[in-house]
Homo-oligomer: A and B are copies of this chain.
Amino acid sequence: MLKHLPQSIRLVEVGPRDGLQNEKTIINLEDKFNFIKNLAAAGLKEIEASSFVRAEKIPQMQDSAQLFDRLIAEPSLKNTHLISLVPNLIGMKEALVHGVKDIAVFTSTSNSFNKKNINSTIDESLLKIEEVLSVAKTQHIRTRGYISTVFGCPYEGKTSLTELKRIALRLKELGVYEISLGDTIGIANPKQVQEVIEFLSVDFPLDFFSMHFHDTRGMAIANVLTSLELGIGSFDSSAGGLGGCPYAVGASGNVATEDLVYLFESMGIKTGVDLDKLIYASELILAKLGNISLSKSHTAYVAAKK
């Protein structure tokens, strides 16, 4: 039942990092820069732009330093939060050199997933995050936390709500302003979404969370709707549905920003995003990748214009 819908919600665009990272075709610096500029021009105010990781690990992110030098110098992006994923102290130090002011740190509710993904147990990852955040705090860097596999892990199946709470409390203690709860393999259903959110609402205000759904099984929009009804006001999404998770078999597709914009705006909830301009941004990068859009709203919109 839809009651007390908010007047507006926040969208955190993850296409340029989470999306592109999982695409095989390497996008050059200029095209990445333009993609981010176009997304900001469409009205997206928080954009995960890149990550400071070892180039040999994630080739798509090898030019993050040069990209940030360009982004920081771009006047039209002055009011955009450009977020960089930072896995450790080395990444943090490099990010600072290149003018990064918003970072994201990463862990998961699954030891197996963390081991495969970042070669750390949960507790080891929390120690790395502590190191990163001790620097971030002194430099007034805004830090977002990611928790992956909240709704299920490709290696361990269901993960523990108690562990989720412990990790979330620790991240809060360390100073993150928000935690993004990831349905990494797109396995969540609305009932489970309700269970997780109601469980966390005992210890946290709901505006401490953003929901990060994958549309692997076509359930993302329903999961977003349930989150919205429960009081969540922030959602991660990827323009054109770019990306997925390379470590999770069968997992493809962050929920598309276009589909979220359509959902919210059609219900009178403001996203601040101009769908025309967003589709322009997506079309350009999809052409570079040789991909078609994974967003049905996008496809229907383009068909209607013809």
Nearest chain B CB to A215's CB is how many angstroms away? 6
Please name the residue on chain B nearest to A241 by beta carbon: B218
Q: What are the interface flags for A239-283 relative to B under an 8 Å C-beta threshold, 1 for contact and 0 otherwise? A: 000000000011011001001001100111000000000000000
Quick check: is A137 within 8 A (CB to CB) of the other chain?
A: no
Most chain B CB atoms below 10 A, which of A186, A222, A256:
A222
Please name the residue on chain B nearest to A301 by beta carbon: B217
Please name the residue on chain B nearest to A256 by beta carbon: B218
Interfacial chain B residues near A192, Cβ < 8 Å: 266-267
A194:B5 contact, CB within 8 angstroms: no
Known: A189-B263, A219-B263, A225-B222. A303 touches B268 (CB 8 A): no
Q: Which of B3, B222, B250, B253 contacts A222 (CB 8 A)?
A: B222
Quick check: is A191 within 8 A (CB to CB) of the other chain?
A: yes
Nearest chain B CB to A189's CB is how many angstroms away? 4
Known: A225-B190, A225-B226, A304-B250. A262 touches B1 (CB 8 A): no
Nearest chain B CB to A82's CB is how many angstroms away? 28
A219:B221 contact, CB within 8 angstroms: yes
Taking Cβ atoms with an 8 Å cutoff, the residues of A that contact B are: 1-3, 5, 186, 189-192, 194, 215-219, 221-222, 224-226, 229-230, 249-250, 252-253, 256, 259, 262-263, 266-268, 295-297, 300, 303-304
User: What are 25 sample pairs from A and B whose C-beta atoms fall under 8 A apart?
Assistant: A1-B1, A1-B3, A1-B194, A1-B226, A2-B191, A186-B300, A189-B262, A189-B263, A190-B225, A191-B266, A192-B266, A215-B296, A216-B296, A217-B262, A217-B300, A218-B221, A218-B295, A219-B263, A221-B221, A221-B222, A249-B303, A249-B304, A250-B300, A252-B300, A253-B296
